[in-house]
Amino acid sequence: MGEARVTRLAAADAAAVEAQLGRAPRGAVAVGWRCPCGRPGVVTTAPRLEDGTPFPTLYYLTCPRAVKLCSTLESEGAMAAFNARLAADRDFAQRYAAADAAYRADRAALAADLGLDDGPIRAVSAGGMPDRVKCLHALLAHSLAAGPGVNPVGDAVAAELGEWWTAPCAPLPEASEASDSEVTR
Ligand SMILES: [Zn+2]
């Protein structure tokens, strides 16, 4: 397997995520999606945390505003509507199943890159994929990290939210001068 190279967040990004979550990010190896405000909005998380705990949620939504908007959609019953559509719309359901496969493939590739054993979570997905919608936060995070056209539910959530960062997000303390990530051992 060779030596594991672990890509960690740049210090400024780690500090921003800690401020967003109210705790230090666990297992975050890269910015999965950067908000136009400059902050990380999604972090890519290692399939195992530093203590070895398997961690299936590859893409984790950190932007507090996006988190809150997803929670509002959930409380308004959006998941029931998505689940009804999955049951009624075969094309939508097939694209959602493909999103699950893409998600798990991304995670397996990262596990291989990092030299981590992802065996215990290889069959575990996120957000309810492949046949249920259970967490809009996880599905939006997937869409933001993967780009449009991969996760139809996450894409629909993103469309519903619109450009939430233009509200705007609170300004950054300093202009982002750091690169997305730095490679360390
Ligand atoms: Zn933002």
Ligand 1 center–CA 61 separation, angstroms? 11
Residue 182 in tokens: 């730095």
* pLDDT, tens digit, 9 for 90 and up, residues 93-114: 999 999 999 999 999 999 999 9
User: Would you say residue 50 lies in a domain?
Assistant: yes
Domain total for the chain?
A: 1
- 4 vs 165: CA distance, rounded Å: 36
Residue 1 Cα to ligand 1 middle (Å): 38
The Å distance, Cα 64 to ligand 1 centre, comes to: 8
Distance 75 CA to ligand 1 centre (A): 22
Does the residue 130 lie in any domain?
yes
180, part of any domain:
no
Rounded to the nearest angstrom, the distance between the alpha carbon of 139 and the centre of ligand 1 is: 18
Residue ranges of the chain with per-residue pLDDT less than 70: 1-7, 170-185
Residues with Cβ within 8 Å of residue 168, at least 6 apart in sequence: 37
Classify residue 85: in a domain, yes or no.
yes
Structural domain boundaries, residue 12: 6-163
Q: Residue 168: what pLDDT?
A: 75
Q: Is 159 exposed, middle or buried (0-12, 13-18, 19+ CB in 10 A)?
A: exposed
Residue 139 lies in a domain: yes
Contact (CB, 8 A) for 41 and 66: yes
pTM: 0.87
Q: What is the pLDDT of residue 167?
A: 79
Q: What is the pLDDT of residue 170?
A: 64
Residue 174 falls inside a structural domain: no
157 CA distance to ligand 1 centroid (A)? 17
